[in-house]
Amino acid sequence: MGGGLFKFSSLMIPFIDFSRQNKLLKKKLLRAVAGVIDRQAYILGPDVDTFEREFASYSGVKYAVGVASGFDAILLSLQALGIGKGDEVITVPNTFISTVLPILVVGARPVFVDVKSTTFLMNEALMEQYITPRTKAIIPVHLFGLPVDMDPLMRIAKKYKLAIIEDACQAHGAIYLPAGKAGKGRKAGSIGDVGCFSFYPSKNLGAFGDAGMVTTNRKDIAEKIRILRNIGQKEKNIHSVLGHNSRLDTMQAAMLRVKLPYLDQWVQKRRQLAYRYNSLLFGLPIVLPVEPESLKSSFHLYVIRTSRRDALKRFLENNEVMCGVHYPTPIHLQPCMKELGYKKGDFPVSEDGAREVLSLPLYPEMKAEEVDVVARIIRKFFT
98 sits near ligand PLP (criterion: CB under 6 A): yes
306 sits near ligand PLP (criterion: CB under 6 A): no
List of E strands, 74-201: 88-91, 109-112, 135-138, 163-167, 175-176, 186-187, 194-198
- The smaller minimum CB distance to ligand PLP, of residues 58 and 200, is found at 200
141 sits near ligand PLP (criterion: CB under 6 A): yes
CB of residue 170 to ligand PLP, shortest distance in Å = 5
Q: What one-character DSSP code corresponds to residue 128?
A: G
273 sits near ligand PLP (criterion: CB under 6 A): no
CB of residue 174 to ligand PLP, shortest distance in Å = 12
* Candidates 8-16, 94-102, 277-285, 305-313; binding stretch for ligand PLP (CB under 6 A): 94-102
Q: State the DSSP string of 228-263.
A: HHBTTEEETTEE-S---B-BPPHHHHHHHHHHGGGH
* Candidates 64-72, 82-90, 106-114, 353-361; binding stretch for ligand PLP (CB under 6 A): 64-72
CB of residue 72 to ligand PLP, shortest distance in Å = 7
Length of the chain: 383
CB of residue 139 to ligand PLP, shortest distance in Å = 9
277 sits near ligand PLP (criterion: CB under 6 A): no
CB 330 within 8 A of CB 94: yes
* Candidates 55-63, 93-101, 273-281, 288-296; binding stretch for ligand PLP (CB under 6 A): 93-101
- Strand 163-167's sheet: what is its strand order? 63-67, 212-216, 194-198, 163-167, 135-138, 88-91, 109-112
Task: Give the torsion sign (CA, 122, 225, 251, 97).
Answer: negative
> Pattern 163-182, binding to ligand PLP, x per CB under 6 A?
----x-xx------------
Considering only 59, 79, 123, 198, the residue that binds ligand PLP (CB under 6 A) is 198
Distances (CA, A) of 164 to 125, 175, 190: 16, 17, 11
71 sits near ligand PLP (criterion: CB under 6 A): yes
112 sits near ligand PLP (criterion: CB under 6 A): no
Determine phi and psi for 26, rounding to 5 degrees: -55, -45
Q: In this structure, which long-range contacts are made by residues 6-12, counting pairs with CB atoms below 8 Å and at least 24 apart in sequence?
A: 8/373, 8/376, 9/319, 9/320, 10/320, 11/320, 11/370, 11/373, 12/320, 12/321, 12/322
- The smaller minimum CB distance to ligand PLP, of residues 69 and 123, is found at 69
CB of residue 251 to ligand PLP, shortest distance in Å = 16
Query: How many whole angstroms separate alpha carbon 135 and alpha carbon 147?
Result: 23
96 sits near ligand PLP (criterion: CB under 6 A): yes
200 sits near ligand PLP (criterion: CB under 6 A): yes
359 sits near ligand PLP (criterion: CB under 6 A): no
Residues that bind ligand PLP (CB under 6 A): 69-71, 95-96, 98-99, 141, 167, 169-170, 198, 200, 210, 212
